[in-house]
A and B are shown apart, each in its own frame.
Chain A
Amino acid sequence: MSIHRSTTERRATRILLILVALAFLAFFLLLPLIAVFGEALKQGIGGFANAVTDPDAQSAIRLTLMVAAISVPLNMVFGVAASWAISKYDFKGKSLLVTLIDLPFSVSPVVSGLIFVLLFGAQGYLGPWLADHGIRVIFAVPGILLATIFITFPFVARELIPLMQEQGRADEEAALSLGASGWQTFWRVTLPNIRWGLLYGVLLCNARAMGEFGAVSVVSGHIRGETNTMPLHVEILYNEYNFVGAFAVASLLALLALVTLVAKSVLEWRFDLHSGAKH
């Protein structure tokens, strides 16, 4: 009897906790999401379509896609290289490297942006030299790229380091002892072992690359049709009281977030299944 009672009590607590969590989610996530799509469609599909096909909006979408298309693959390579080095080799300064990888997470994005202005801006260390050679970094696309790469660097590495550390070196050592080269070992053993974690890290990295506001805002200069990414464009439209336009573009970003979320859940499910079957 006492066992039965104690489980029912626990069930009541569990239901209460779940309800609290759901209410919290509904208020802070679902409600805003509905509001975004609601506002975007306030003037019907036509209003939405007009806002999204506006040349400035189109240019912002193109720029955002381009920035993501460049920064995500780069960070994928950097992230895999850094995690490989950290988890498979012992070297001096390893813990310092791990701390440095986390730096973009711990520094405010605005400060990150300012670092690049300080380095490459007209009054910056390298600014005059760049200007002499006709290269524009700040208030131009290269600056946006640099800021985005910096901000999104940790995502892939953060995902892979614990995974690769847990997997250890034995699989690689086994491959090498069987005569595989380093390159064969990487493609045929290491990469398949980390593929789900890598994909997950890339998804998160992509979501952030498209959504980053702070750092990009500092270096972009907000030139319409040229250096406005989607998040910056949303802010400009909103400040101009073009609510339908702002929410329409915002809803595209939200849609991206949703797709990422679904993809992430699917991956997590596969990932669990995969690592669970290991034991």
Chain B
Amino acid sequence: MIRVNNLTKRFDDVSVLRDISLSVEPGEFIALLGPSGSGKTTLLRIIAGLEFQDEGEVLVDGRDVSGLSVRDRQVGFVFQHYALFRHMTVAQNVGFGLSVRKRNRPPKREIEARAQELLRLVQLDGLGKRYPSQLSGGQRQRVALARALAIEPKLLLLDEPFGALDAKVRKDLRRWLRDLHRQMGLTSIFVTHDQEEALELADRVVVMDHGVIEQIGTPEEIYMEPATPFVSHFVGETNHLPDGLHVRPHDLRIVEEGGEAVLVDNVFRKGGVWRVEGVLSGTGEIVEIDLDAGSPAPQPGATIRVQPLRSKSFGG
């Protein structure tokens, strides 16, 4: 179990983490979600031992590891741009962690066999003799993962694992990583700025902004019960109605009487729904509404009245 207690980190005079506390259960898959500058990567690096906190502590199974360097923490770290050793073959990359061991270093043949085994696990059979430059982005990512798994880490940390990949590969890898996490019984924490990724993969999501945790919860809780205006804004799409009401586009419906008047600007098909973009008559705030694609779409220029089915109030 990982516990982070009251962590604080400053770079020069800028606070990047302020009083962060978090606990991760064995086997959990945790997402650190936030915009750039939210401190999520710094938090991940402190847990890894690549960066050190100014205050607070990091506990692994009850033991304070704050003084241990990354080398002694036995965590698997997957870097955003993979950081594969370009002068080594794929198999040598994967075997690196075993080959630098001072104590109980396995014999060469055993390291090679282990590398093969891990490459099979990440579905890269037969690519062991290639160099990283001969692989696609998605393949490199999987080599990086196999390399990190080779040291049998208790904890797997991934920094923007899909950041540098194109949309299709990203989606495939996402599902695959989720399966791998379950299959191996790992405890994993990954950093992302992509809310969709966080909601799809994680057991729990930690939403961060400006060095503080805004909310910790299951994807369901984060989406349906955002704790702060920031979370409501950052996770999913949100409209601002008067009196501090935050409403999702799909939680608005058209009514004959009452509700808020909206001047329709633009209507287009967005997948299975009509996306209506308009301006709130009262406040001039932009509003987005999703309507069932089976129903007739309002025309641009028309004024419609909308009412929230469900909303979240954050005060005036």
Q: Is the CB of B83 within 8 A of A188?
A: no
Interface residue? B75 (CB, 8 A):
yes
Complex CA–CA separation, A247 to B7 (angstroms): 71
The one of B70, B85, B101, B131 in contact with A177, judged by C-beta atoms closer than 8 angstroms, is B70
Which residue of B is nearest A171, CB measured?
A: B83
Q: Is the CB of B81 within 8 A of A177?
A: no
Interface size class of B (residues with CB under 8 A): 20 to 34
| Total contacting residues, chain A, CB less than 8 A | 19
- 3 tightest A-B contacts by CB? A178-B97, A170-B83, A174-B83
Query: 1/0 contact trace for B96-132 toward A, CB 8 Å?
Result: 1100111000000000000000000000000000010
Given known A170-B81, A173-B77, A193-B87, contact A178–B133 (CB-CB < 8 A):
no
Which residue of B is nearest A185, CB measured?
A: B100
| Chain A positions within 8 Å of B50 at CB level | 173, 176-177
Q: Is the CB of A171 within 8 A of B71?
A: no
Q: Is the CB of A277 within 8 A of B133?
A: yes
B interface vs A, CB < 8 Å?
A: 48-50, 69-71, 74-77, 79-81, 83-87, 96-97, 100-102, 131, 133, 147-148, 150-151
| Contacts beyond the supplied A174-B77, A175-B85, A180-B100: 17 A-B pairs with Cβ under 8 Å | A170-B80, A170-B83, A173-B77, A174-B85, A175-B100, A177-B49, A177-B70, A177-B77, A178-B96, A178-B147, A179-B97, A181-B100, A188-B85, A188-B96, A189-B85, A277-B131, A279-B133
Q: Is the CB of B71 within 8 A of A177?
A: yes
Chain A proximity of B148: nearest CB distance (Å): 8
Which residue of A is nearest B69, CB measured?
A: A176
Chain A proximity of B228: nearest CB distance (Å): 33
Q: Is the CB of A180 within 8 A of B96?
A: yes
Complex CA–CA separation, A188 to B85 (angstroms): 9
| Chain A positions within 8 Å of B87 at CB level | 192-193
| Chain B positions within 8 Å of A177 at CB level | 48-50, 70-71, 75-77, 148
Q: Is the CB of B83 within 8 A of A180?
A: no
Interface residue? A278 (CB, 8 A):
yes
Chain A proximity of B92: nearest CB distance (Å): 10
Complex CA–CA separation, A73 to B75 (angstroms): 38
Complex CA–CA separation, A277 to B87 (angstroms): 11
Interface residue? A242 (CB, 8 A):
no
Chain B proximity of A130: nearest CB distance (Å): 45
Chain A proximity of B85: nearest CB distance (Å): 6
Q: Is the CB of B75 within 8 A of A181?
A: no
Chain B proximity of A28: nearest CB distance (Å): 39
Query: 1/0 contact trace for A266-279 toward B, CB 8 Å?
Result: 00000000000111
